[in-house]
Amino acid sequence: MSILVIAEHDNAEIKGATLNTIAAAKAIGDDIHLLVAGANCAAASEAAAKIEGVSKVLVADNAAYEHQLAENVAKLVADLGKDYSHILAPATTTGKNMLPRAAALLDVQPISDIIAVEAADTFKRPIYAGNVIATVQSSDTIKVVTVRATAFDPVAAEGGSAAVESVTIVEDAGVSTFVGEELAASDRPELTSARVIVSGGRGMQSGENFEMLYKLADKLGAAVGASRAAVDAGFVPNDMQVGQTGKIVAPDLYIAVGISGAIQHLAGMKDSKVIVAINKDEEAPIFSVADYGLVDDLFKVIPEFETKL
Amino acid sequence: MKVLVAVKRVVDYNVKVRPKADGSDVDTANVKMSINPFCEIAVEEAVRLKEKGVVSEIVAVSMGPKQCQEQIRTALALGADRGILVETDAELQPLAVAKCLKAIVEKEEPQLVILGKQSIDGDNNQTGQMLGALTGMGQGTFASEVTVEGEKVKVTREIDGGLQTLELKLPAIVTTDLRLNEPRYASLPNIMKAKKKPLDTTTPDELGVDIAPRTKTLKVEPPAERKAGVKVESVDELVDKLKNEAKVI
Ligand SMILES: Cc1cc2nc3c(=O)[nH]c(=O)nc-3n(C[C@H](O)[C@H](O)[C@H](O)COP(=O)(O)OP(=O)(O)OC[C@H]3O[C@@H](n4cnc5c(N)ncnc54)[C@H](O)[C@@H]3O)c2cc1C
Ligand SMILES: Cc1cc2nc3c(=O)[nH]c(=O)nc-3n(C[C@H](O)[C@H](O)[C@H](O)COP(=O)(O)OP(=O)(O)OC[C@H]3O[C@@H](n4cnc5c(N)ncnc54)[C@H](O)[C@@H]3O)c2cc1C
């Protein structure tokens, strides 16, 4: 029983969610191979070989894989995946985009966003915005699974010494081309791996007012997130959205500011270790999941909070 | 050109569902059902393309029990031209849905297929990508902007790091994210008109699709509950609790 894990990377570095996905793979079996598909991705491959628990790194280094186009990478994964009992990828936008496509090529019904491994063929996953946890058993020969990173503690990025093998298969479907990318540049930690998150909602009233949260976040070494309402209103960009249809986070500390606590938002943050809610409405549902609630005007509280740290 | 839109019948997003007491399934008896919000966005996008003169016909497809007709009628009231119901009372998994859609794509030969990025019940986020694999079409998932330019479609996608833009050859698949558009409300005259629009019914059998499930739900349960916390009176108390009780700062 060998497991193929698809690495998430930017050709230079391996992204953190890969380490959580390998942890899920270890709960299934111990012959774990890691695929690095990219272009000029030698640096990422070297880093991959050092990850704890990986026995082999497969490197597909070709222009066709540079931007992780789903059409090309899915074919490669389906070609290679035939020889494995399991194929795993992080449930990031990259993994969710590519892996179901690979599964369909293998005639497999994939299992999305698992939060626990019960047995080699049985997994737990949240449905209905996390209001229900389903235990699902697969009867497919190959199990194709995406992994919710926050549910598994990452393996160590160092300490391993996997063999590196290059893969020469080139799959270029020729139906899609990369045009461009606008990536948010920020010196703050990434939302999905931050230890502390300060999140703002509609109560912030404007993009300018988010400056208060950035200042607070910088004192705390925190990332900044947002509710859908704040993103829809144009206060902040889409990559900051936390929730059922945004990012799933589980930091040590989540501070929700001017967020009411709709189930779709809770779905993305309620597994945080400690939750703080700051809201002027004492009836706001966010208080039902908050460890510490402060009922007050955020415009008064946030500047004071920042100076008292 | 022709557009195919997939619309799914789901438990309304305002309903908080619960597992049945025996943990066998989710209790959906007598709850309000609606069109999946992402599918509504898919219909709206097709209608906007039609209003721009890019699209000439919109076909709305749903798979599931007879009652899915309601969601197809909603799509027709929003501006779709005709509907197809693939009727079955069996549980449908995304692979089976994608196979049914592929059979319909082969018949209808649309230039664009628009689906929701995920449905808010199963939360799978799979169907569009799987249809892409089965048809060989390119896919623009999690779309926040769609522009048809001649034989191509340009899709801006919401990704973890920000936004990415791809160009796909037509025919192609698009799955919608929340910010692609804001769906209109169906007007009463349009709801009335929708009742007269054609709605064909077929079955997975007639389409030659094997819909046998590949996964089995062994049980469903509520998630671990969080214990209700405390209210603090001041910023000082909050800072103190975070430092000395929770020890997180
Ligand atoms: C299909 C679907 C998917 C969705 N996905 C997501 C998702 O992924 N993430 C997400 O977040 N939402 C999602 N939503 C939206 C969700 O239902 C809510 O609409 C949204 O979370 C509300 O955001 P909010 O709490 O910022 O705004 P509101 O609900 O408007 O709450 C604002 C809060 O701020 C408080 N407030 C206002 N002024 C002040 C002040 N001066 N001081 C203190 N408090 C103040 C108010 O009391 C209120 O509680 C989704 C919805 C649908 C239908
Ligand atoms: C508790 C529970 C138990 C279940 N048990 C089973 C089971 O035992 N066996 C089983 O087979 N299934 C079962 N299901 C159903 C299954 O898990 C999914 O809900 C279903 O397969 C569809 O997945 P999805 O809608 O999340 O797909 P997604 O990939 O998230 O859907 C994306 C998009 O695809 C399109 N789409 C998807 N389905 C349809 C459709 N029917 N008609 C039109 N368009 C569609 C829509 O545009 C939608 O926005 C169960 C579901 C639940 C909640």
Q: Is the pLDDT of residue A302 over 90?
A: yes
Instruction: Please report which helix (H) or strand (E) contains residue A294, including its range.
Output: strand A292-295
Which tokens sit at A65? 């894989």
Q: What are the helix and strand counts (H, E) for chain A? A: 8, 16
> pLDDT truncated to tens, each residue of chain B (249 aa)?
999 999 999 999 999 899 999 999 999 889 999 999 999 999 999 999 999 999 999 999 999 999 999 999 999 999 999 999 999 999 999 999 999 999 999 999 999 999 999 999 999 999 999 999 999 999 999 999 999 999 999 999 999 989 999 999 999 999 999 999 999 999 999 999 999 999 999 999 999 999 999 999 999 999 988 877 999 999 999 999 999 999 999
| Helix A298-307 with A210-220: angle, nearest 10 deg | 30
CATH of domain B2-245: 3.40.50.620
Q: Which of B86, B45, B34, B43 is nearest to B62 (CA)?
A: B86
Cross-chain residue pair B93–A122, CB shorter than 8 Å:
no
The C-alpha atoms of residue B135 and residue B113 are separated, in whole angstroms, by 11
Instruction: Please report which helix (H) or strand (E) contains residue A254, including its range.
Output: strand A253-257
Q: Which of A74, A184, A196 sits opposite B133 (nearest CB)?
A: A74
Alpha carbon A169 to its chain's center: 28
- What ipTM score was computed for the predicted complex, to two decimals? 0.95
Q: Which of A143, A160, A180, A153 is nearest to A4 (CA)?
A: A143
| Domain chopping of chain B, boundaries | 2-245
Q: Which atom belonging to ligand 2 lies closest to the Cα atom of B176? A: 49
Cβ atoms of residues A51 and A5 within 8 Å: no
Q: Which of A132, A232, A237 sits opposite B220 (nearest CB)?
A: A132
* Confidence grade of residue A187 (pLDDT, cut at 50, 70, 90): confident
Cβ atoms of residues B124 and B92 within 8 Å: no
DSSP A164-200: EEE--------SEEEEEEEEPP-SSPPGGG-SEEEEE
- In this prediction, residue A236 carries a pLDDT of 96
- In this prediction, residue A285 carries a pLDDT of 96
Helix (H, G, I), strand (E, B) or coil at B33: strand
Which residues from chain B sit within 8 angstroms of residue A301, using beta carbons? 235
Residue type, A307: T
Cα A169 to averaged position of ligand 1 atoms, centre (Å): 47
Least CA distance to A221: which residue of chain B? Answer: B249
Give A219-264 pLDDT, tens digit per residue.
999 999 999 999 999 999 999 999 999 999 999 999 999 999 999 9
Characterize A173-212 residue by residue with b for buried, 16 or more Cβ atoms within 10 angstroms of its Cβ, and e for exposed: bebbeeeeeeeeeeebbbbbbbebbbbbbbbbbeeebbeb
Tell me which residues have their CB closer than 6 angstroms to ligand 1: A 201-203, 227-230, 241-246, 258-260, 262, 264-265, 268, 279-281, 284, 297-299; B 13, 37, 120
Q: Is the pLDDT of residue A193 over 90?
A: no
pTM of the full structure:
0.91
Q: What is the dihedral of CA A24, A92, B42, B64, to 10 degrees?
A: 0
Q: State the binding site of A.
A: 202, 227-228, 241-245, 258-265, 279
Q: Which atom belonging to ligand 2 lies closest to the Cα atom of B36? A: 49
Q: Is B213 in the pocket of ligand 2 (CB under 6 A)?
A: yes
Cα B127 to averaged position of ligand 2 atoms, centre (Å): 8
Burial of A279 (0-12, 13-18, 19+ CB in 10 A): buried
Cα B122 to averaged position of ligand 2 atoms, centre (Å): 5
Give A74-99 pLDDT, tens digit per residue.
999 999 999 999 999 999 999 999 99
